[in-house]
């Protein structure tokens, strides 16, 4: 039996391997470019003094932090890749329109990893882009529903509401349109797959896929530790 009923094991493995490759590239980049980057000597001094670490421990932590930045940036792409493998969905890759489209359901999606990924001005620009796509008579996506998908929501609250970011240039919020929506990741996975707990199921399956791809098996204690963050992010 496949691990999940909405994506093949081969496709899920491909998405995980792509993610692992991005993580390795981030680690190699951190190693190669570390000396080229300008390191804040004041911050380094206080960190070594107050974080109770020596220079070697600080170096390891700093390189890990830089690698983590690359990893976090790749997480949004991971979800885009997974969703694009689901039957009926097309990943538009680096298109300047949106990330995903389902022509049958007439749905568009722009996928971001966390609620704070986009600053306010970028949210307004996204709203305007989505509005043009679903409202313009000449657009092939006229009357589609466009979602701004936030995989990890704020305060573990599910939502599927009109997307109305504040526009500083006008001093007011963008006009509410039922076809331009903001939605959390768990709710969108449910829409994309028809499976209410699709995101939960994938999270539960990932350790096995990661283990088969890397040879690194997470122990029960590690899994319990990470699962607490999942529960905090999405609620029980």
Q: Which domains does the chain possess? A: 9-85+197-230 (no CATH), 90-193 (3.40.1560)
Q: With contact defined as beta carbons under 8 Å apart, do 198 and 6 qualify? A: yes
Strand partners, 167: 172
Q: Please tell me the predicted confidence (pLDDT) of residue 214.
A: 85
Q: Please tell me the predicted confidence (pLDDT) of residue 138.
A: 93
Q: Please tell me the predicted confidence (pLDDT) of residue 123.
A: 94
- Residue whose C-alpha is closest to residue 146's, from 159, 169, 128: 128
The CB density around residue 72, as the number of other CB atoms within 10 Å, is: 13
Q: Please tell me the predicted confidence (pLDDT) of residue 234.
A: 94
Question: pLDDT under 50 in the chain at which residues?
Answer: none
């Amino acid at each position: 039996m496949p691990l999940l009923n909405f994506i093949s094991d081969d496709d899920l493995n491909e998405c995980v391997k792509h993610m692992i490759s991005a993580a390795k590239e981030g680690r190699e980049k951190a190693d190669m470019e570390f000396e080229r980057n300008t390191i804040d000597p004041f911050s380094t001094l206080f960190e070594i003094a107050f974080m109770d670490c020596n220079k070697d421990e600080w170096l390891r932590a700093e390189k890990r932090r830089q690698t983590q930045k690359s990893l976090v940036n790749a997480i949004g792409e991971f979800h885009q890749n997974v969703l694009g493998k689901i039957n009926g969905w097309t990943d538009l890759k680096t298109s300047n329109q949106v990330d995903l489209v389902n022509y049958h359901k007439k749905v568009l999606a722009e996928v971001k990893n966390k609620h704070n990924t986009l600053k306010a001005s970028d949210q307004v620009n996204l709203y305007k882009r989505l509005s043009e796509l679903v409202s313009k008579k000449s657009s092939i996506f006229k009357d589609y529903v466009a979602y701004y998908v936030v995989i990890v929501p704020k305060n573990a609250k599910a939502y599927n509401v009109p997307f109305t970011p504040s526009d500083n240039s006008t001093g007011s919020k963008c006009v509410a349109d039922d076809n331009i929506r903001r939605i959390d990741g768990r709710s969108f996975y449910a829409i994309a797959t028809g499976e209410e707990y699709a995101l939960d199921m994938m999270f539960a399956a990932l350790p096995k896929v990661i283990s088969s791809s890397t040879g690194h098996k997470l122990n029960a204690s590690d899994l319990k530790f990470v699962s607490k963050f999942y529960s905090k992010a999405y609620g029980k």
